[in-house]
Structure 1
Amino acid sequence: MTMALKDKKEPSKNRNFIESLKHAIDGLIILCKTERNFRIHLLISVIVIVLSIVLKIKSEQWIWILLAIFIVLIAEVINTLCESIVNLIVGQEYNKIAKKTKDVAAAGVVIASIFAIIIGCIVYIPIILEL
């Protein structure tokens, strides 16, 4: 038994890579339009990239900065996914396990953000102190 989606379309497997890519891009657009925290992380990412260009960081440092950026963005995607699934299953009714699930998913974003801050400090503080 399959569950029909809201728009009455049945879920189906993507026919090819291009169709899969289109759905992924649709997901990114949805994230940007509906998720404030994702937009904030994107804005911070752009600022960090511009700062990295201005400070002319080395290629090894770029790897760490980009890794930190993408880990935070992926953590935010997973957090949003967990929240959406919990809301779909539980609805708006308070549920102790649903709260725990959402809080733990949000903690993943905090942990990823702390990692990014540490990487930022390791990369940028020595450069800024040399100025």
Structure 2
Amino acid sequence: MDLKDKDQVGKNSSFFDSFKYAFKGVLTAFQEERNMRSHILIGSIVLILCAFLDLTVNEWLWVLFSIFLVVIMEIWNTVIENVVDLVTGDIFHPLAKKAKDMAASAVLLTAGFSIIVALIIILPKLWQILF
């Protein structure tokens, strides 16, 4: 974290700064969270696969929506984990565990939703090509 980041406690000074710090947040999540890298890798593979399938606009929207939703939920999970760790430190608290478990379950449920979308949209198209 550079000195400017440490000193900033208020709003961003410019519209450009807002984008810069938002992009930094995505980059930090990608660099520091193994699960984020896994979600990005799997999402990229799905997008490459979909490029070779004859998806309608609506199917593309569902696929993109489910991939982005998993990534967004992973970021929220990380935010919640970091805030809970900041507040509790090394002290165990059952409410802290509950919050972290529920945040992780949101990612799990969203990933399950993405799998259902893939089964409905991608699997039949692959089935037609392969058999």
- Is the TM value for this pair above 0.5? yes
Measure the CA separation in 2 of the matches of 1:20 and 1:73: 20
Query: Could you state the TM-score of these two structures normalised by the residue count of structure 1?
Result: 0.91
Query: Could you state the TM-score of these two structures normalised by the residue count of structure 2?
Result: 0.91
**Which fold has the larger relative contact order, with Cα–Cα distance below 8 Å and residues 6 or more apart in sequence?**
2
Structure 2 equivalent of residue 27 of structure 1: 25
Letter in 1 for 2:33: E
Q: Find the partner of 1:95 among 93, 104, 111.
A: 93
Shift of 1:24: 0.5
Structure 2 equivalent of residue 3 of structure 1: none
Measure the CA separation in 2 of the matches of 1:76 and 1:99: 17
Structure 2 equivalent of residue 44 of structure 1: 42
> In the comparison of the two structures, how many residue pairs are matched?
125
Report the 3-state secondary structure (helix = DSSP H, G, I; strand = E; otherwise coil) of the residue aligned with 1:32. helix
Q: What is the aligned-residue RMSD (CA, Å)?
A: 1.2
Measure the CA separation in 2 of the matches of 1:69 and 1:60: 14
Measure the CA separation in 2 of the matches of 1:8 and 1:16: 17
Report the 3-state secondary structure (helix = DSSP H, G, I; strand = E; otherwise coil) of the residue aligned with 2:74. helix
Structure 1 equivalent of residue 16 of structure 2: 18
Shift of 1:8: 5.1
Measure the CA separation in 2 of the matches of 1:37 and 1:93: 25
Question: After TM superposition, which residue ranges in structure 1, 4 or more long, deviate above 6 angstroms?
Answer: none
Report the 3-state secondary structure (helix = DSSP H, G, I; strand = E; otherwise coil) of the residue aligned with 2:13. coil
Letter in 1 for 2:19: L
Q: Which runs of 5+ in 2 are unaligned?
A: none
Measure the CA separation in 2 of the matches of 1:103 and 1:8: 30
Structure 1 equivalent of residue 126 of structure 2: 128
Letter in 2 for 1:84: N
State the identity as a percent.
Answer: 38
Report the 3-state secondary structure (helix = DSSP H, G, I; strand = E; otherwise coil) of the residue aligned with 1:70. helix
Report the 3-state secondary structure (helix = DSSP H, G, I; strand = E; otherwise coil) of the residue aligned with 2:7. coil
Higher relative helix content: 2
Q: For each residue in 1:2-59, what CA deviation from the matched residue of structure 2 results, as whole angstroms up to 9, or x when unmatched?
A: xxxxx75241211121010000011111111101101110001100100100223221
Shift of 1:101: 0.3
Q: Which runs of 5+ in 1 are unaligned?
A: 1-6
Shift of 1:60: 1.3
Measure the CA separation in 2 of the matches of 1:73 and 1:44: 11
Measure the CA separation in 2 of the matches of 1:107 and 1:113: 10
Measure the CA separation in 2 of the matches of 1:8 and 1:75: 26
